[in-house]
Structure 1
Amino acid sequence: MFRIFGRDPALGTPNLQGQAALYTPQSTQQLYAAVNLAVSEGTPYELELMTVQPDGELRPCFVMGFPERDERGRVVRLAGLVQDITQRMREEEKIRLAASVFSHAREGITITTASGTIVDINDAFTRITGYSREEVIGQNPRVLKSGRQDAAFYAAMWGDLTGLGHWSGEVWNRRKNGEVYAELLTISAVRDAQGITQQYVALFSDITTIKEQQNQLEHIAHFDALTDLPNRVLLADRLQQAMAHAQRRQKQLAVTYLDLDGFKAINDHHGHEAGDHVLVTLAHRMKQALREGDTLARLGGDEFVAVLIDMEDMAASWPMLNRLLEAAAQPVQWDDLTLQVSASLGVTFYPQSQDIDADQLLRQADQAMYQAKVAGKNRYQIFNAVQDRDLRGHHESLERVRLALENREFVLYFQPKVNMRSGQVIGAEALIRWQHPEKGLLAPAEFLPVIEDHALAVDVGEWVIDQTLTQMAQWQANGLNLAQVSVNVGARQLQQGDFVDRLKRILARHPQINPVHLQMEVLETSALSDMAQVSQVIEECAQMGVMFALDDFGTGYSSLTYLKRLRVALLKIDQSFVRDMLEDPDDLAILQGVIGLAAAFKRQVIAEGVETIEHGTALLHLGCELAQGYGIARPMPGADIPAWVAAWRPDGAWSEFNSLDDTVPSVG
């Protein structure tokens, strides 16, 4: 009793009034009422009361009272006991809470025996599956099986459950009404003190709507909105697969770049609706002219690419190329009008005598297509490798680039990045230039392709990082602190086994720069070349504070799986989509899809190539606030950045933009 009330035993046992003072006022009233009834009528009592400890803590207790009578039946005294029930009350509260969670959870809950027999479900289970409690108790969860997962899937699941004691993943199951649905499922084993599984508890939620939205986003990201053909994003993946297939099977692959002749005149004279009808009709006809395994993709406008696989030699492609020409030249009926165009085709083949990548194949086919137009249109032209080497003759040699690095002829320019709505300058991108002693200031495209597959690319890349950090230190000394300055990292540099260690050494030479202010921009195609290695590099850099951005996003195969695995903080929308978004509904659709993907994966998104106020306003309407481009600022020397930052103000149309306005801009 003394322990329960927190009372010093030396004070002795308190009388009734003394005991009453140890309870809360409400409990005291209950105690007096019970005692009076016990004395007057001889009724014993059992109460749950609340004590007040000396430190003010409230503690529950169970109180029993027993009247004792004399030989004449009169109550002469009360005997009783007091029990601390704090722990019992806590356990009961846990039980009530667990029962409440079980009953009211929005997720379905299933409890089975160790052998898999269902012993209990909650209301959410019935709501999601359609099965009542009576219909599934005693059944096996196989009653929900949809057939979409094979035996190997379930074997792996049970392997995790028995080995790890838990499993989590996505499963397709079937409701009572036969409808197949997707669920996010977590199963945990409940084990006894000896580690033997007694029950399994499964928690699941219906994610069918989310999966449908993901599929829609995947489709938007990979298929042309008008013709439903693969777009340039999916084409990149299909072409990579076709090249690998050709190498394995030792067969020829043809890449055909197709541009419609006379299509612009149809748009100009009869309107975009007529033009769209022609595109959709011809896209269907040209697809029908190809074989099942071939790919026809639309790049945008009136440009298409066909990938023809499994050919024994070049001559095997001639019939298909002629069928494409015939399909493109067939008349198209539009109301009372008969519309007709033709096509110019450029063709290149793979493999070639020298190593070549997918982008080079497309450039070769594009160049051959141009030659077909020059030659009179409505024909195909085969790519001429000798002519191509002549066209490349202006590129600087590898040795000259090495000398330029040694002679300090390279310089850095910086292009600001801004938040168009708030007006904040959020950072800048470092861009290399070559101050050539004879040719003047050269853009990266004039010399970087020469070294992209050579070890010199690593030396130039590390020079850029070192000089960027030096410039950041100068800015800091002058009072300018940009949140993040990004540098471009090429595939060759990123794939170095000691990339992270080399980066650490460069950062160590600039201790005044916090690594969180440095960002790496990597091309999407580079990031996907070795997913595991690149993902590991990104993780290790993130531990130092250096985050990554995925550059030219949308020009590679932007899979949801890749976004999930790559811990990039920022997606950069390729300028090719931004540049034509106001005229090309396909680019606008791709932008909407990319911005949607970024939001779904909680990534920041920035648009490059913002050239006009109208481009920025349209992007704000789509939910993209971060941007860079000539419409904001051209790249400039580092010394000019502080003055530009101090003077820059966003256009009124941007700063007054209402973020709640979700009107999608129209294109024409």
Structure 2
Amino acid sequence: MVKRRVVKDVLRSAAEAQLPTAPAAPLRSAEALLHELQVHQIELEMQNEALRQAHVVLEESRDRYLSLFDFAPVGYLTLSRESMIVEANLMAATLLGAVRTTLGRRRFESFVAPDDLERWRRYFVSAWKGSTDEAFSLELNLLRQDNTVFPAQLQCAVKAVPGAAPVMRIAFNDISERRRLEEEQRIAAIAFESQEGMIVTDASGVIIRVNRAFTTLSGYSVDEAVGQTPALLSSGRHDQGFYQHLWQTLEAQRYWQGEIWNRRKDGSLYVAWLTISAVTTPEGRVSHYVGAFSDTTAKSEAAAEIHRLAFYDPLTLLPNRRLLQDRLGHALATAARSRLYGAILFLDLDNFKTLNDTRGHDVGDLLLVEVANRVRANLREGDTVARLGGDEFVMIVEGLSPHAEEAAVLAQQIGDKLNETIAQPFDLGSADFHCTTSIGARLMSGRETVDELLKHADLALYQAKADGRNTVRFYDPSMQAALDHRSLLECELRQALKLDQFQLHYQPQFDDADRIFGAEILLRWRHPSGALVSSGDFIPVSEQSELILPIGHWVLEAACEQLARWSRMERTRGLKLAVNVSARQFRQADFIDQVRDALERSQADPERLTLELTETMVLDNVADTIRKMQAIRQLGVHFSIDDFGTGFSSFAYLTRLMLDQIKIDRSFVLRLPDHPADAIIVSAIISMARSLGLDVLAEGVETEAQREFLLARGCHAYQGYLFGGPLPLADFEALVSAGGRALGEGRTTASLVSP
């Protein structure tokens, strides 16, 4: 009461001091009343001003709190008893990867990783059962808005709110960096306790730490080593110059490694491979040295094995490429001295990859060993047989003849003998296997280089394969000229791609009612000379140089774009397009994505697109082929086997592939119906396709007799010059617009299939 009266008196005095004049004598009743009213009015104004100032101070305090809350480097959340987010600061929204304004409509559980959800629910329930203000801490894996996970440290407590329901306050932060550092420390600790002896010294070279492997290798305990220098291990086998060079290298490069002789505690010596690394501060000053060493004494006992691995093929025990080059150098020197021609022969097994894929690599390895034994048995003792890798073998035969012609005849005889020997059946366990070889040969007189001989023999081998395999071919200078031509063609093809010189032609495909239902895309090249070059003249070169990848991608994109354009026109929206896919293109890791992207960009109907694969492509890595075909088939794209019957198809594989169509190769159609063997093969293919539920299309149909033969046996789709050859886009569309009536040679009664 006294304090309140004092405050009131002070306030009244302050109010009266603001009046113009103070009363000098006691006031009459009316004057006293007026004076009191004036004093009370001033008191009220002073109180209001004081309240306003207090409100301003309170607002400023609240703003500071909100700023601290919003911009704190820690995420803050307020949860209701139902786990709904009531309040969140900016850092919480950032850590959770969400827009702050949307958090108020979310349950905190939706941000907890599934693996930790049950644990969080137990903590949450337990916290609400406990006493108010009782804090608990835990680590949780939280889930951002984009479904990425991060580890977080949470501090939680249930808080009472005056005049409202209690809430849970959560403070949390991302501890990814802490986890990473902890993991690095664990890895470093494990690495330190490796099988290698480890020494850590200070900058002066005094040992401060060693691992268990050090005590095992040196015989010194930890207590005996710590406080000493690495001189503890000195063997006395190295002079001062050795150590001087070691330290000079370490100071200059902060690193040294090499062999060093060490002495164990028991006095025994051993050879160690030592690596020393300097640890530096951010300022570049050396703070520690770390040494790692291992006993390499046993290496001398393995020197012979190392030599064998370095110079011999581990599977066949034949010389490898490295030793072959050395022996070839010696053979050239011998030929120059003796003036006797020798020869180098490259031998490659035909279709070896097919054996590997169909019967496994173990069987393939067994065949390679047997081939090596047969080749070795058919050469003279002084001749060399080497394996370059895979199924490639090289023979060096010396001292054949002083005359090139006679030496060539002898080399030919050796090659023919090897072909005959390897053609004999191989017993590979479950069944006999028949194998043929292609051999490329090159004479040597001593005037050639090692690289020239290897290159020329390889070219001759390439020619042997091109000539039908199972033969011997000699290097001819014309081969080099052909190689130069291919090199020029490759350069021109690169330019053609850049200058947009490729064109698409369309060969129409007809059904048995003479209706056009689609076309096969065939690539043409408008050469700078003006000539239109067929794909058969440049595709082989593009496949060898990997230019087939960008070219094939361009064709795929162009085909999808054309289908999209056709879909907008009444006459063409029902047409289908078949696109040939090369083996290199199909084997790309992202080929599925390429097809998907081409379809999405063009908005083409995938059901109108057919990808044509070859038999050999399908059999090369069957598992990968099936995986890709299934993924692309799910996009809606169809598949066809091109040139069917020319490869090594297996019914087992055909039943597993996502095929829609088989194309009979033109080589079987060409002599129909008069050639009995071809007639049997074609009939079998059609019958097999029908039993598998596959469509059949015959290529190369040129006569009415061929068409009638095919139709009679159940083939209802055709492609060939009887109906029309490949056409430029404008001519093909004109053919379609004319109702399928041919513009030149061929049939004239065709009509377009209705979409």
TM-based fold match above 0.5: no
Calculate the TM-score normalised by the size of structure 2.
0.39
Calculate the TM-score normalised by the size of structure 1.
0.44
Using CA pairs below 8 Å that are at least 6 residues apart, which structure has the higher relative contact order? 1
Bigger CA radius of gyration:
2
